[in-house]
A and B are shown apart, each in its own frame.
Chain A
């Protein structure tokens, strides 16, 4: 409390850009004045991130519930649709995301152990690797989507596949396939943007054991994207 009080005094004195001599050693440049300690600031941000992840789970949850209902109703169409997905590409993408989750947690580890810049290289390398695996995921996704587009295996009224194995209502499977993997793909793209931001700030040397909140929070987001794919892969590619 006394620290927050000091901060408000400083603001009143018109020295908002700096800080008093007395606590210069404990005032981190990324410490926001409305938090008593850096730890409180970190914990508050983290709770906020987990609440955001809760809304993300419910967002995807609606699609999973819809999938469950429609799959039980159109089992034949779903099985026929899934034969048009290449499980090898799906498994490759699963490996890409699992490895990128590992490199992300390594980046968090490096950032949280970065003292006087001794882990800065490890941090940047792992963030770059994460970005690379995410990019690999999107490249595989691109090939899968263009194949479906070519065959007319598209959602709803855009479905135009007339092959010998066409089953009535097969479009329902591809509606779910594109909505679920599409929403997930946008999350991967968003994550790639966020990781790029982390790389830029890591190069500037902003993250250390005292302050690595963005690395930690974007890490949590990235693991959730991985976690959703863990369920999407067997549901879409491996059903029988």
Chain B
């Protein structure tokens, strides 16, 4: 696997041609990982969280392959990789703190909640709706398509 940056032909002396087959192998690995992701989604790994973690781990492996080889970060100038990785770090801070905050709230009722106020904190909007159905019950027959 090689990159184009060292094939830049400014001097005219560097004429060695790098192969392209490495890219094909990366594509095959990416397609194989897609099959694995779809397959893993059919299996129950115990909890919804476990399945999400497994799917996201495979997605991260795929994203790393794309970034390192297709986006040439493996052999590129470090500054470009630094920009990319630092962006991901800030995104991780954003995501991590928001999820910790959301999970640790005592009252997760949204500001638009209109149900009884003396009820304890509700885990989700779905429970609100179950307690006080806003919509009429679903029709017995499926709608015409």
Contacts and interface: CB of A to CB of B under 8 A. Distances in A.
Contacts of B126: 74, 76-77, 167-169
A25 B134 CA distance: 76
Interface residues of A, number: 70
A95 interface: yes
Contact of B58 (A39, A76, A234): A234
Listed from nearest, the 3 A-B pairs whose CB atoms lie closest are: A168-B129, A112-B4, A238-B41
6 contacts: A47-B83, A73-B124, A95-B34, A112-B4, A210-B9, A219-B70
Q: Is the interface of B mostly helix, strand, loop or mixed?
A: helix
A54 B23 CA distance: 24
A39 B10 CA distance: 8
Interface residues of B, number: 68
B80 A57 contact: no
B55 A216 contact: no
A223 B103 contact: no
Interface string A185-219: 00000000000000000000000111010001001
A240 B125 CA distance: 19
Interface of A: 37-39, 42-43, 46-47, 50-51, 53-54, 57-58, 61-62, 64-65, 68-69, 72-77, 87, 91, 94-95, 98-99, 101-102, 104-106, 108-109, 112-113, 115, 150-151, 162-164, 166-169, 172, 208-210, 212, 216, 219-220, 223-224, 226-227, 230-231, 233-235, 238-240
Given A37-B10, A113-B18, A220-B71, A230 B102 contact: no
A30 to B, nearest CB: 13
B7 A113 contact: yes
A37 B8 CA distance: 12
Contact of A64 (B15, B20, B95, B142): B95
A54 B4 contact: no
A223 B66 contact: yes
Given A68-B99, A168-B130, A227-B67, A61 B38 contact: no
